[in-house]
Amino acid sequence: MLTAAEVLAQNNFGNTRTGGLAGPMGLFLILVLAIATVLLIRNMNARLRRLPNQFPSASGSVASDAGQVAVADSEVTGGTQARDSSLKSGTGPQQP
């Protein structure tokens, strides 16, 4: 009669030692992923070094450009303020 230990100890998967490719293939994949990670990190660091230390503020340059456009429009229209539809104010979604 079979005991519980004998039933659990049976190998129902066949001979798992033939071929033996899982270990070397796993090592190969780990090495490939490690090399790819190192190369990606080096590339990212090189790109970050090329960036300027500080970017110009976008809000200040947009406001000064808008002021210059408004002054130019008022000179063209004879001193009256003309509304330029190309300048969209607000931060929400724009509707046509």
Tell me the pLDDT of the chain (96 aa) as tens digits.
678 888 888 877 777 666 677 788 999 999 999 999 999 999 999 999 999 988 888 876 554 555 555 555 555 555 555 555 555 555 656 665
Domain that residue 32 falls in: 23-48
The number of folded domains in the chain is 1
Contact (Cβ atoms closer than 8 angstroms) between residue 92 and residue 84: no
Helix/strand/coil for 85: coil
Q: Is residue 86 part of a domain?
A: no
How many Cα atoms are found within 13 Å in the side-chain-facing hemisphere of 56?
6
Q: Is residue 31 part of a domain?
A: yes
Q: Indicate whether 57 belongs to any domain.
A: no
Which pTM does this prediction carry?
Answer: 0.42
User: Under a CB-based contact definition with an 8 Å cutoff, are residues 89 and 65 in contact?
Assistant: no
Q: Which residue has the tokens 């976008």?
A: 58
